[in-house]
Amino acid sequence: MRFRRVLSTALLLLGVAAAPAVADSSPSPSPSGDDSAPTRAGTSFRTATEIGQGSRATASGSAGDYLYWSFPADAGQRPTVKATVKLPQASTRGASETWQVDVYDGLRRRQACQYGAQTRTAAQDTATVELSCTLRTVRAWSETWADDPLPGTYYIRLTATGLPASELGLPVGAEVKVDSKDIGGAAAVDGSLGKPLVPGIATSAKKSDSGSGSSKTALSSIEPDDGWTSGWWSDRWVWTAIGGILAALAGIGGYALTRGSGRPSRVPPGI
């Protein structure tokens, strides 16, 4: 009876410990929280258009231009960038076109794609080109010499490569979307950044309606809904607690099986 009570209590504690992991695995809403999608792209890192994960952004440009967007990615996430390019009419193009999407981290280091079609060549009669790039899982901490993806702002750069001069400037349309898969404790590390790698506050000269002047402009204001975690919590803590509870149950069960009924065995008379 005592063993059953101990087992019931341990199972109850196991359910309480696993509850945060189940709640944490549910998808979070889009950080943007806004139905209006951006309709333009930046032309450099500093002017990159900010988009939230799960939202689409569109832009019009010219063949040969660099189109930039930025998005936030936190520890434990594995972002996937998808881009669709609407090419000019086939009659205006003389040959095939090669398009490429690159992703850079907050230190402007180009991040390798774990998988996906990062570069594609479209034939002359092709109307659209679809590109994708799935990054490695964002780590909460890394060595200074490593190029691991870290929490912060990431930049998307979309452009055509090797275009002939006759096709430069032709109108194109672009659409990008960023989604992430939450990897969780499987990618957890012991350590965290002091701050996420996001652009700070820069002073830029602007002309106001009444004249010239300078004002402070935030280069990056977008972040995840629940803020930057920087790896302080992961479901690895939950599974560690579950392992400890199971080990305790195994010890209690082994003790109950080996100690017997607790009563001394009867000794036959005459011995």
Q: Which two tokens stand for residue 3?
A: 């063993």
Residue 17 is predicted with a pLDDT of 44
- CA distances in angstroms from 203 to 28, 43, 206, 217, listed in the order given: 34, 19, 9, 6
- What pLDDT does residue 84 have? 97
Indicate whether 125 and 7 sit together in one domain.
no
- CB-based contacts of 233: which residues, under 8 Å, 6+ apart? none
In a domain, 192, yes or no: yes
Q: In this predicted model, what pLDDT tens digit does every residue of 202-250 receive, in sequence order?
A: 333 333 344 444 333 444 567 776 677 744 555 666 667 788 888 888 8
- Dmax (CA) for the chain in angstroms is 117
Residue 263 inside a domain? The answer is no
| Same domain membership, residue 197 and residue 66 | yes
**Looking at the structure, do residues 9 and 91 belong to the same domain, yes or no?**
no
212 is a domain residue: yes
Domain of 97, CATH number, reads 2.60.120
Query: pLDDT tens digit string along 146-161?
Result: 888 999 999 999 999 8
Do residues 92 and 203 both lie within one domain? Answer: yes
Is 22 within the bounds of a domain? no
* pLDDT at residue 235, rounded to an integer: 62
pLDDT in tens, 114-147: 999 999 998 888 899 999 999 999 988 888 788 8
Between residues 202 and 163, which one has the greater pLDDT? 163
| Model pLDDT for residues 62-100, shown as the tens digit of each residue | 999 999 999 999 988 999 999 999 998 888 887 788 999
Domain membership of residue 144 as a residue range: 29-229
Rounded average pLDDT over 257-264:
66
Would you state the pLDDT for residue 236?
61
Q: Which two tokens stand for residue 58?
A: 């569109």
Nearest to 224 by CA among 175, 176, 178: 178
Are residue 245 and residue 134 in the same domain, yes or no? no
If you average pLDDT over every residue of the chain, what do you get?
76
Structural domains counted in the chain: 2
Domain-embedded: residue 138: yes
**Domain for residue 169, yes or no?**
yes
Residue 88 placed within a domain = yes
According to the model, what pLDDT value does residue 104 have? Answer: 96
CA Rg value for the chain: 28
- Residues 243, 159, single domain; the answer is no
Looking at the fold, whether 13 and 99 belong to one and the same domain comes out as no
98 and 165 assigned to the same domain: yes
Q: Does residue 270 lie in a domain region?
A: no
